[in-house]
Amino acid sequence: MISSHSRAAFRWFPQRVPVQFATRFPAYQRAGKNYLQLPVVNSAASCLKCRMPFSNLGLSLKVLEGVRAAGYTDPTPIQLRAIPIIMSGRDLIGSAQTGTGKTAAFALPIMSRLGQRGSLRALVLEPTRELAAQVETAIHDYGRFTNLRTTVLYGGTGYGRQDQALRQGTDILVATPGRLLDQMQRGMVRLNQIEILVLDEADRMLDMGFLPDVRRIVERCPRTRQTMLFSATIPPEIEQLGQWALRNPETVQIGQRRSPAETVTHALYPVASDQKQALLEELLKRTDFDQVLIFCRTKHGADRVARKLHQQGHAVVVLHSNRTQREREQALNGFRNGRYEVMVATDIAARGIDVEQISHVINFDVPHHPEDYVHRIGRTGRAQSVGDAFTIMTGEDVQEIAAIERFIGQKIPRVKLEGFAYEYTRLLDSAPQPAFGARRPHGRRSFGYGRKRR
Ligand code: AMP
């Protein structure tokens, strides 16, 4: 029986084994999501701190009820450290890897501080529509026992519903910068009573050229406010933004600034350029995945890959910015509810994807920016679940891979697929073959060729 290749990576990199094995107890996997028992935190001291439950963090009772209803028993490390700071009213810079529970880390104390329904007092800026929609859903969930109102604003869709929601009044606004500025110009939103401002995924705002818009928005908020800035990485521009927009902030850094989710195992698959698609198909055949997210650099590339996978009989859906908002939502919902087993996406579209079952991320194209590698693989291994990140690499990607390895501070193992009819490329000389047949490190059951179980 053929099973996951990532096991091979374990063999060659035994220093990763203890942490990974510790996180791969089936009982702690997706369904359980129990942080308390996950020995992922770095030291015994921090592990003990993790045993402090949500009720000791100063959150309001209504919000605590929401947390319980969401099924969270114990705070994640960023929640544990950020919530008391936010509750005390201080500014905060949160540098945490993706999938760490960052949304609840700011949403829970914001709702607790706002307390009762009133005027628009909290603003959360997000770089993409997907992320904005996801954060709004999370806030709704956590706040279901409060009477606070949350509205989401993003572009690519009509004004009707958004205008209606704004007219009805809102306490918390989650928005992408462009549409928020539009709505401000149309006189639908005024920020003069904002008490709490969150700049989420700030490094992404930078990448997408949104910082000038963000600055214009910040300038329209009152000076006396609480400001939080979250960013997976803190490049100099974000550091400057922090110095300008925040006052005497506390910094919370979870894990290494640049480290990708620690629950993810990485592997590189070198191959000749014209065999990329064939290798991808072979990888899918041999991998026991729950759901897999495949990244391409271009929209056309994503369409092409998806078309071919569809021809191979995969239930596949595409997500990129040429699609309408409605199509994107349908694609995400279909992926979330398991109708599709494979999603092919470009970087921007994939920013807000939070699907628990994603067991594998495959980079069909190596990302241009090392930060994107971290964001991409942050789509798997979310909330301390486990996942594998495979990257297909050709001779043209050598420099980008070196940059990624420098950025994440680790060498990614090269892996060769046993029995695959490789065309020769020099890259293959240094890639060992995985040893199939050993026990899967995930503790997931292997179903032959690993097609989606239904
Ligand atoms: P985020 O980093 O905010 O995108 O969160 C990643 C995932 O972690 C989401 O699916 C959340 O529902 C989940 N999550 C957040 N906080 C907790 C917690 N304390 N316990 C279990 N799951 C959590």
Is residue 183 located within the same domain as residue 307? no
Final residue in a domain of this structure, among 193, 220, 253: 253
Nearest to 375 by CA among 293, 300, 303: 293
What pLDDT does residue 100 have?
77
Q: Compute the distance between CA of residue 170 and CA of residue 180 in angstroms, rounded to an integer.
A: 14
Beta-bridged to residue 46, according to DSSP, are none
Q: Compute the distance between CA of residue 441 and CA of residue 228 in angstroms, rounded to an integer.
A: 38
Residue 46: CB atoms within 10 Å: 14
* Domain residue limits at 268: 264-430
Nearest to 171 by CA among 151, 190, 188: 151
User: What averages of pLDDT result for each successive group of 10 residues across the chain (454 residues)?
Assistant: 34 27 29 28 33 80 94 86 95 82 95 96 95 94 97 94 96 98 97 97 88 97 96 87 95 62 76 94 84 90 94 88 79 83 81 70 90 76 63 92 84 88 80 42 30 33
What pLDDT does residue 322 have?
75
Q: Is 443 part of any domain?
A: no
Is residue 167 located within the same domain as residue 216? yes
Ligand 1, pocket-test mutation among 37, 51, 74, 76, most atoms within 8 A of CB: 76
Ligand 1 pocket, 101 CB below 6 A?
Answer: yes
- Say how many Å lie between the CA of residue 26 and the centre of ligand 1: 18
Within 13 Å, how many C-alpha atoms sit on residue 298's CB side? 3
Q: Is 423 part of any domain?
A: yes
Q: Is 301 part of any domain?
A: yes
Is residue 245 located within the same domain as residue 269? no
Q: Is 407 part of any domain?
A: yes
Ligand 1 pocket, 103 CB below 6 A?
Answer: yes
Q: Compute the distance between CA of residue 54 and CA of residue 344 in angstroms, rounded to an integer.
A: 37
Residue nearest to atom 18 of ligand 1 (CA): 72
Give me the sign of the Cα torsion angle 256, 260, 265, 269: negative
**Contact between residue 452 and residue 341 where contact means Cβ atoms under 8 Å apart:** yes
H-helix or E-strand spanning residue 150: strand 150-153
Ligand 1 pocket, 380 CB below 6 A?
Answer: no
Ligand 1 pocket, 30 CB below 6 A?
Answer: no
Q: What total number of domains does the chain contain? A: 2
Is residue 315 located within the same domain as residue 419? yes
Is residue 282 located within the same domain as residue 246? no
Q: Is 446 part of any domain?
A: no
Q: Compute the distance between CA of residue 327 and CA of residue 332 in angstroms, rounded to an integer.
A: 9
DSSP assignment letter at 145? T
Beta-bridged to residue 388, according to DSSP, are 265, 360
Three-class SS state of 273: helix
Is residue 344 located within the same domain as residue 389? yes
The string of DSSP letters for 211-272 reads HHHHHHHHHTS-SSSEEEEE-SS--HHHHHHHHHH-SS-EEEEES-TTPPPTTEEEEEEE--
Is residue 97 located within the same domain as residue 177? yes
Radius of gyration of the chain (CA): 22
**Contact between residue 49 and residue 78 where contact means Cβ atoms under 8 Å apart:** no
Is residue 213 located within the same domain as residue 308? no
Q: Is 441 part of any domain?
A: no
Residue 119: CB atoms within 10 Å: 12
Is residue 183 located within the same domain as residue 312? no
Is residue 317 located within the same domain as residue 350? yes
Final residue in a domain of this structure, among 200, 233, 253: 253
Is residue 425 located within the same domain as residue 282? yes
What pLDDT does residue 357 have?
66
Locate all alpha helices (DSSP H) within 143-232, ordered by sequence.
Answer: 160-168, 177-185, 202-207, 211-219
H-helix or E-strand spanning residue 198: strand 196-199
What pLDDT does residue 1 have?
31
Residue nearest to atom 4 of ligand 1 (CA): 99
Q: Is 436 part of any domain?
A: no
Ligand 1 pocket, 384 CB below 6 A?
Answer: no
Is residue 131 located within the same domain as residue 10? yes
CATH number, domain of 82, equals 3.40.50.300
Q: Is 448 part of any domain?
A: no
- Say how many Å lie between the CA of residue 301 and the centre of ligand 1: 31
Final residue in a domain of this structure, among 212, 233, 253: 253
CA distances from 55 to 63, 74, 108, 128, 320 (A): 10, 9, 12, 32, 40
What pLDDT does residue 362 have?
93
Q: Compute the distance between CA of residue 297 and CA of residue 33 in angstroms, rounded to an integer.
A: 32
- Say how many Å lie between the CA of residue 64 and the centre of ligand 1: 15
